[in-house]
Structure 1
Amino acid sequence: MSETESGPEADEFDSEAEIDATSSPDVSVEYPLQVDGLRKTFGGITAVDDATFQVENGTLTGLIGPNGAGKSTTFNLITGMIKPDAGTVTFNGDDITGMEPHAIANQGLVRTFQIARELEDMTVLENMMLAPKNQRGEKLWRSVTPGVRNGVIEQEEELLDRVWEVLEFFEIDHIAEEYAGNLSGGQRKLLEMARALLTDPDMLLLDEPFAGVNPSLEKRLLTHIHELREQGYTFLLVEHDMDLIMENCEHVIVLHQGRVLTEGTPEDIKSNEEVIEAYLGGNV
């Protein structure tokens, strides 16, 4: 239905379907994320070179590699921040290659950034209220039309309840009225992950979520990630801390010079001579 055709009588809103992010993600696809032959060059430099891998549903998978291995570029290609020169990205059975970032997020594939991107002049609570999808109040006519406006208010009240639940889950409810620009680096990481969860994702791509985070907050973040994984969420994690990856991920993918060097369990990776040589700067 087009925007001009929509109206109060055509606006069917299912609050539980659109708001409830507490339910577990769909687990019908064994490998929700599949990357096949992904390639990206910048001038004469090949940043990602025929990268191929898949991520199993309900797992915490690590994506590692030496500096310049192509990890961030791979994340950007998967999430639509940049367009690939070749290859495909499939999510939940749909080809999402080259789609716009917001469209990919609407598919249920959501990322965080190494440097948190909160709206600094808004409070933590206001930042959170912007995150959920399909908000009726986003269309002006719904906010001012008698008989429809009540539905907008009702949804906002339900959203607010959900926001407070997520704030409490991430233990940042005590700073709800604080401006986001005043938060510490660790608090911003918690806020960004909390906002991502409110988009009702199936899978989260975390780009160095522990960078600049003190050990206490790092432990809290890890606890939340494991709790969410137990609820059925799938994670792909880029992180430089090898010990953290090896202690927390079930599966590890190693990039080197834009290609997948190897993948396997943490035990497999730690004993792999090619991985050791790549991290020590040798030729592989």
Structure 2
Amino acid sequence: MSDVAPEGTDPDELPETDDSETEKAAQQTPPGLPLRVEDVEKRFGGVTALDGATFSVEEGSITGLIGPNGAGKSTMFDCITGVHTPDAGSIRFHGEELIGKEPYQIAQDGLVRTFQIARELEEMTVLENLMLAPKGQIGESAWRSVAPVARRGVVKQEEQIREDVWETLEFFEIDHLAGEYAGNLSGGQRKLLEMARALMTDPEMVLLDEPLAGVNPTLEEKLLDRVHDLREQGYTFLFVEHDMEVIMENCEHIIVMHQGKVLAEGDADEISENEQVIEAYLGEDLGE
């Protein structure tokens, strides 16, 4: 459509365009794509870790993020979750810009992560680790300790949290470890605890950073089963993992990064047959 005013029309009488509203509409994340990463760049000195990476994650999906060592996967996770601030680009969750927010604010927005090395509170029990996780806890104070009504509110909330914790422990099949100190758990048990703790924050989307690293096959299967169960409940996952067989068998959409850029996207068949991906991995097994 032409922007030229009809002949005889005073340009000053034409309706004004609200540039702010136009810009806002352009920035909105499309429905069904809660996370949108656009042209993200991140440099560390003279090293470019992310070089204009762009991708989206579909709601209710298990999306794999893969790439050779040094491709920028962990840096991307750090930028999404507020650990690092990108030098350029945009990261939006349900249309709201995340860049500039602190990690705890992003978690409060409903986007949480796990780490390659589990970060449990070692000198607290498994139960206590989960009790600390929920958002919006009233907490204790000198005033509440002497105000019966306020005290009842604290007790009621704590009872509800404890009930939720036990349900989560049972869901992850680690309820038998409730009284065990987190520092005494095996690597696989720590990964289960970390995911359970992430779920206790009531997130919408979970970023899993190599959740199977150091996990034995039995616990690996259990953890993957939990991920699929949670996806069926409506959770969304973005999944970094080096085991290509796991990615190909469990992710309906796969994003491949290489040298800080998105090299390819598609399902398992499309990725495993992509010549650029094969070349980037220098012949590594892609699950075929």
Give TM-score, length-normalised by structure 2.
0.86
Determine if the alignment matches structure 1 residue 89 to structure 2 residue 91: yes
Matches within 5 A, 1:28-39: 29-39=31-41
Residue type of the alignment partner of 1:107: D
1:21 aligned partner = none
The Cα of 1:255 is off from its aligned counterpart by 0.2
2:43 aligned partner = 41
Residue type of the alignment partner of 1:102: Y
- Structure 2 CA distance for aligned equivalents of residues 80 and 37 of structure 1: 16
CA contact (8 A) 1:77 1:98 kept: no
What secondary structure is seen at the aligned counterpart in 1 of 2:118? coil
Moved more, 85-94 or 139-148: 139-148
Alignment equivalent of 1:112, drawn from 111, 114, 117: 114
1:4 aligned partner = none
What secondary structure is seen at the aligned counterpart in 2 of 1:267? helix
Q: For structure 1, list consecutive stretches of 5 or more residues without a partner in the other structure.
A: 1-27
2:262 aligned partner = 260
Give structure 1 regions of 4+ aligned residues with deviation exceeding 2 angstroms.
Answer: 138-146
Question: Over the residues paired in the alignment, what is the CA RMSD in angstroms?
Answer: 1.4
Determine if the alignment matches structure 1 residue 73 to structure 2 residue 75: yes
CA contact (8 A) 1:129 1:163 kept: yes
1:270 aligned partner = 272
1:200-225 Cα deviation digits (max 9, x unpaired): 00000000000000000000000000
The Cα of 1:93 is off from its aligned counterpart by 1.4
Determine if the alignment matches structure 1 residue 213 to structure 2 residue 232: no
CA contact (8 A) 2:140 2:154 kept: no
- Structure 2 CA distance for aligned equivalents of residues 188 and 114 of structure 1: 11
The Cα of 1:154 is off from its aligned counterpart by 0.7
The Cα of 1:143 is off from its aligned counterpart by 4.4
- Structure 2 CA distance for aligned equivalents of residues 91 and 167 of structure 1: 29
Shift in alpha-carbon separation, 1:82–1:281, aligned structure 2, 3 A: farther
- Structure 2 CA distance for aligned equivalents of residues 82 and 173 of structure 1: 35
Matches within 5 A, 1:3-14: none
What secondary structure is seen at the aligned counterpart in 2 of 1:232? coil
2:152 aligned partner = 150
What secondary structure is seen at the aligned counterpart in 1 of 2:153? helix
What is the total number of aligned residue pairs between the two structures? Answer: 255
Give TM-score, length-normalised by structure 1.
0.88
The Cα of 1:146 is off from its aligned counterpart by 2.8
What secondary structure is seen at the aligned counterpart in 1 of 2:84? coil
Identity %, equivalent residues:
68
Shift in alpha-carbon separation, 1:253–1:138, aligned structure 2, 3 A: farther
CA contact (8 A) 1:65 1:254 kept: yes
Alignment equivalent of 1:58, drawn from 57, 60, 84: 60
1:12 aligned partner = none
Residue type of the alignment partner of 2:42: K
Structure index of larger Rg: 2
- Structure 2 CA distance for aligned equivalents of residues 142 and 115 of structure 1: 38
Determine if the alignment matches structure 1 residue 245 to structure 2 residue 241: no
